[in-house]
Chain A
Amino acid sequence: MNPLTRAARVLRRNLVVIAGLGTLGFLLLPNVIVTVFSFNKPNGRFNYEWQRFSTDAWTDPCGVADLCGSLSLSLRIALWATVGSTVLGTMIAFALARYRFRARSSVSTLIFLPMAMPEVVMAASLATLFLNTGVSFGFWTILIAHITFCLSFVVTAVKARVMSMDPRLEQAAQDLYATPLQTFRKVTLPIAAPGIAAGALLSFALSFDDFIITNFNSGSTVTFPMYVWGSAQRGTPVQINVIGTAMFAIAVLCVLVAQLAGRRRKRS
């Protein structure tokens, strides 16, 4: 057989696998570069050219001024934004899915606006609001802004879950002697939990890496994405790559653990 036709046949049979691997490679390549360059020892301030292998940055991740401060601020904001938007968003989702009240449909539409609106528009309008009400920019304005845009993601995720829930499950719980509070704790909440968890994870990720809205509403406070952006103009410390790599590794680890737990539960 002609080697060319043979190659074409192999290609045709494995097209899905090849396309999949190609896409994965395209997506992961930036992460690989970031990881590789976290072990670089650049000459000068810019970490753009490979010089030689070193673990200096890994052994001293906070070695650059203000980096770890901004990181811990971003983590704190992400955490509180997650808590705030998850609690509020879950309650809104339940209200929208379960109850009929005036302006329900308009609330339901408005809640999606932050998702649909260009981020820069929302950033500017929030900044205008804070300026006009005389609130001083800083931690609290950033937090409020983050909760505002995370809310719509939580509502979407939780609402879908609540809507698809069989109302008979709660009736069955009540029929089996569960008070309304027990019904909520033992049946409603556990069943809605995957939706709530998805909303919370999304919130954390969105809040942690938000730049535009934060930049407009932070005043002199500097979050981690702002720090990276600022330092990129003056030089990029290797520590940024270290933190980026560490975060990527933690995220992958979380996904793996969740997958393993899910598989084990299915098997038992």
Chain B
Amino acid sequence: MTATATTRGSGTDVRLTGISKTYGAFTAVHPLDLSVPAGSFFALLGASGCGKTTTLRMIAGLEEPTTGTVELAGKNVTALPPYKRPVNTVFQSYALFPHLDIYENVAFGLRRRGVKSVKKQVEEMLELVQLGDLARRRPQQLSGGQQQRVAVARALINHPDVLLLDEPLGALDLKLRRQMQLELKRIQTEVGITFIHVTHDQEEAMTMADTVAVMNAGRVEQLGAPADLYETPRTTFVANFLGTSNLITADVLGTAGDAILLRAGDTKLGLPATRCTAPARTGEKLLIGIRPEKITLTHADDAGTIADGRNRVTGRIAQSSFTGVSTQYLVDSSVATGLSVYEQNIERDTRLVPGAEVVLHWNPGHSFGLDAAQNVEAGTDVEAEGAG
């Protein structure tokens, strides 16, 4: 896994073993094992209510786990109260102290640990987040982006072993968000502390993190490097929650070499066995998935020009929308309706308009296979808002 490759060793590794949280009859987090390598940027990604924030709060000590243990650098801290754990949190609403100015907010952690001269450190930290001239302002006099940076400074000044970020960019507008994502990534690279970042924004998770754990209904669905998760999702939830996927139900015809042969309607499709996470037994069903941008769209008149060995599906364009960089098509075919295709606007074929007969084709090596017993719609219209 690439996560271990990026280890710098200056942070601390976090290990959760069999950790779970139940509130009465409701299980927020099912027993889960999670290992975050030292110095990595780790993201917990999921929709609202999936248990990601609860997991984070258990690491911080703000929530007591129902079962399981939390280990930091091999030391069991499960029984320690939050103020004795070498971790700091950047809260979703920043939680800056309204009765203290920026300087005192940032100095809070140092003062509680009895550090005598805080001036130099606080000034350096405010310099790092570029807020030196606002030291004597109150939090409510600052903009959202500035408050966010104060929250980061207030946590980082303590040199925690692990920095926990609970949807820290949720309250910012899109442009500022992108800017802060790069900023946070820069800071993490500079200080080398282990970051655990909770977010519902899949793009944010993929941009920033070395390793992403996708959570759904209190469980980790899949864990890995962003590219691995995107290219080889193991569940329909991950396939749909991270970007968009076309999922086609198909019958397994058999295997030929290291390829699985499938049939959907009267269309034959191929899939490398290594890219299928479900057992492929002849006569049973399988889901074959393909990302919209991996599909090429060719007008039916030019079907002869398509190279051999590619998966082909015939259909008719139902809808097209021009987005500038690309054109997004919805294609109805005999194997599935509403297949999504993204075409780069390099040389546009003017015949590709709604109603046109087309052939969708792609490299079989780009498809992935999933267990057909799952809900095909899982993760498609999850409300991506608020806290997990």
Contacts and interface: CB of A to CB of B under 8 A. Distances in A.
B98 A174 contact: no
Interface residues of A, number: 19
A172 B97 contact: yes
B95 A172 contact: yes
Interface string B95-107: 1111100000000
Interface of B: 60-62, 81-84, 87-89, 91-93, 95-99, 108-109, 112-113, 136, 154-155, 158
Contact of B88 (A176, A187, A190, A268): A176
B99 A177 contact: no
B99 A176 contact: no
Interface of A: 166, 168-169, 171-179, 182, 186-187, 190-191, 193, 268
B90 to A, nearest CB: 9
Contact of B95 (A171, A193, A268): A171
Contacts of B89: 171-172, 175
A168 B113 CA distance: 20
Contacts of B84: 177
B97 A174 contact: no
Contacts of A187: 97, 99
| Chief secondary structure at chain A's binding surface | helix
A47 B81 CA distance: 69
Contacts of B92: 168
A168 B83 contact: no
A166 B83 contact: no
26 contacts: A166-B93, A166-B95, A168-B91, A168-B93, A168-B95, A169-B95, A169-B97, A169-B98, A171-B95, A173-B108, A174-B61, A174-B81, A174-B83, A175-B62, A175-B88, A175-B155, A176-B83, A176-B109, A176-B155, A177-B113, A178-B112, A186-B108, A186-B112, A187-B97, A187-B99, A268-B136
B136 A178 contact: no
Contacts of A172: 89, 91, 95-97
A177 B109 contact: yes
B23 to A, nearest CB: 14
A175 to B, nearest CB: 5
Contact of B98 (A175, A176, A179, A191): A191
A168 B83 CA distance: 14
Nearest to B113: A177
Contacts of B97: 169, 172-173, 187, 191
Count chain B CB atoms within 10 A of each CB in A168, A175, A182 and give the residue with the most: A175
A171 B84 CA distance: 13
Contact of B154 (A171, A176, A193): A176
B137 to A, nearest CB: 9
B358 to A, nearest CB: 53
A174 B99 contact: no
A171 B81 CA distance: 11
A176 B81 contact: no
The 9 lowest CB-CB distance pairs between A and B, nearest first, are A176-B109, A172-B95, A168-B95, A177-B112, A174-B82, A190-B99, A175-B89, A178-B112, A177-B83
